[in-house]
Homo-oligomer: A and B are copies of this chain.
Amino acid sequence: MPDPQTAAVAPLDPALMAEIEALRATTHTTRRATVSAMEDCLHVPFPVLDHGFIRVVDYMGDDGAIVQAARVSYGRGTRQVREDRGLIRYLMRHRHTTPFEMAEIKVHVKLPIFVARQWIRHRTANVNEYSARYSVLDREFYIPAPDHLAAQSADNRQGREGVVTGEEAAEVLDILRGDALRCHVNYERMLNAEGDGHDPTRQGLARELARMNLTLNTYTQWYWKIDLHNLMHFVSLRADPHAQYEIRVYAEVLADILGWWVPLTTEAFQDYRVGGLHLSRHALAVVRKALAGEAVAQADSGLSPREWRELWAALGQASSPES
Q: Please indicate the chain B residues that have their CB under 8 angstroms from the CB of A158 in the complex.
A: 133-134, 208
Least CB distance from A306 to B in Å reads 10
Do A149 and B216 contact each other (CB < 8 Å), given the known contacts A104-B225, A278-B278? no
Main secondary structure of the interface of A (DSSP, over half): mixed
Residue interface mask A128-157, B partner, CB < 8 A = 1: 111101111000001010000111110001
What is the chain B residue whose CB lies nearest that of A108? B72
The number of times this chain is found in the oligomer is 4
Q: Are B74 and A223 in contact, with the CB atoms below 8 A? A: no
Do A288 and B270 contact each other (CB < 8 Å), given the known contacts A60-B58, A69-B128, A152-B203? no
Do A317 and B292 contact each other (CB < 8 Å), given the known contacts A135-B77, A150-B206, A172-B205? yes
Do A217 and B212 contact each other (CB < 8 Å), given the known contacts A31-B23, A42-B31, A101-B126? yes
Whether a CB of chain B sits under 8 angstroms from the CB of A238 is no
Residue interface mask A234-259, B partner, CB < 8 A = 1: 00010000001010000000000000
Task: Determine which of B142, B168, B237, B291 lies in contact with A317 in the assembled complex, contact meaning CB atoms within 8 Å.
Answer: B291
Could you tell me how many residues of chain A have their Cβ less than 8 Å away from some Cβ of chain B?
Answer: 128
Whether a CB of chain B sits under 8 angstroms from the CB of A287 is yes
Task: Determine which of B101, B151, B272, B287 lies in contact with A206 in the assembled complex, contact meaning CB atoms within 8 Å.
Answer: B151
Task: Determine which of B162, B186, B271 lies in contact with A203 in the assembled complex, contact meaning CB atoms within 8 Å.
Answer: B162
